């Protein structure tokens, strides 16, 4: 699928009342970065690399950066450069303590006020996504999870991952919204014509190039409540 970024921008700001599908990143988007869950994953990634490559943690961090630059993700780097079975990596890095995640009745309520399909789009594994959703108490809202395996282990922000998502779930980009805490992961979505919401959690800095960010949510629950009000005709949600 092709999509010109300049022409997609205005379409991406379409009224939220027309949205039919709501796609959410998982980690640090559905829960605050302060929960420290993703920090646990990062420590496991470092430990895996260190053990697998036989290097110290500092060198493992350097290797991780080169993988992310060259291959977009640590996992992809290990697969391309070492032929690693991705499930071995995913099982290891997601073997964390999910109990640090608090239940979120407020998110549960806000998601319940939004009509339409709701999906998870994550570079992580399905089992990790299931555990996070269960802990938060929001599992019932999500009909579909598009995980690393579903994407053929092609990670965000590779455009191919988004194209596979759209194809697999028959999404119409112009009536689809993507929520993400990593700003650069929104760019391919905007290029396809999706509306983008950057969930600003204090970890990622969007930098100068922000034209692919249509909305900013400093508080996901509050943003969803406002979107629900707009869809009910009770006001207008201002773009960023």
Contact pattern for Mg ion over residues 185 through 204, marking x by CB under 5 A: --------------------
Count Cβ atoms below 10 Å from residue 127 Cβ, excluding itself: 13
Question: Is 119 in contact with 143 (CB distance < 8 Å)?
Answer: yes
Q: Applying CB under 5 A, does 147 fall inside the site for Mg ion? A: no
- In the set 181, 191, 199, 227, which binds Mg ion (CB under 5 A)? 181
Q: Which stretch binds Mg ion (CB under 5 A): 15-23, 29-37, 134-142, 202-210?
A: 29-37
| Bridging pattern class, strands 176-180 and 195-199 | parallel
Q: Which stretch binds Mg ion (CB under 5 A): 21-29, 46-54, 89-97, 144-152?
A: 21-29
Minimum distance from residue 70 beta carbon to Mg ion (Å): 21
Minimum distance from residue 66 beta carbon to Mg ion (Å): 21
* Distance in angstroms (rounded) separating the CA atoms of residues 89 and 37: 17
Question: Is 177 in contact with 165 (CB distance < 8 Å)?
Answer: no
* Distance in angstroms (rounded) separating the CA atoms of residues 78 and 82: 5
Minimum distance from residue 204 beta carbon to Mg ion (Å): 8
Q: Which stretch binds Mg ion (CB under 5 A): 44-52, 136-144, 174-182, 212-220?
A: 174-182
Of residues 163 and 181, the one with the C-beta less far from Mg ion: 181
Instruction: Return the H-helix or E-strand segment holding 156.
Output: none
Residues that bind Mg ion (CB under 5 A): 25, 27-29, 181
């Amino acid at each position: 699928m092709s999509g010109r970024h300049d022409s997609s921008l205005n379409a991406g700001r379409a009224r939220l009342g027309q949205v039919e599908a709501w796609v959410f990143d998982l980690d640090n988007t559905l829960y605050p970065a302060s929960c420290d869950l993703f920090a646990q994953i990062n420590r496991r990634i470092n430990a895996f690399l260190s053990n697998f490559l036989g290097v110290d943690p500092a060198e493992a961090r350097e290797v991780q950066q080169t993988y992310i630059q060259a291959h977009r993700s640590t996992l992809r780097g290990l697969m391309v450069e070492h032929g690693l079975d991705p499930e071995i990596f995913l099982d290891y890095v997601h073997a964390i303590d999910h109990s640090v995640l608090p239940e979120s009745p407020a998110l549960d309520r806000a998601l319940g006020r939004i009509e339409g399909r709701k999906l998870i789009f994550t570079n992580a594994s399905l089992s990790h996504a299931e555990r996070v959703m269960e802990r938060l108490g929001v599992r019932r809202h999500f009909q579909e999870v598009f995980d690393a395996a579903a994407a053929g282990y092609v990670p965000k922000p590779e455009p191919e991952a988004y194209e596979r998502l759209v194809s697999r779930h028959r999404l119409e980009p112009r009536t689809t919204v993507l929520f993400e805490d990593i700003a650069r992961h929104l760019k391919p979505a905007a290029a396809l014509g999706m509306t983008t919401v950057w969930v600003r959690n204090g970890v990622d800095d969007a930098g100068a190039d922000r034209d692919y960010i249509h909305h900013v949510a400093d508080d996901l629950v509050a943003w969803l409540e406002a979107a629900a009000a707009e869809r009910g005709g009770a006001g207008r949600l201002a773009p960023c």
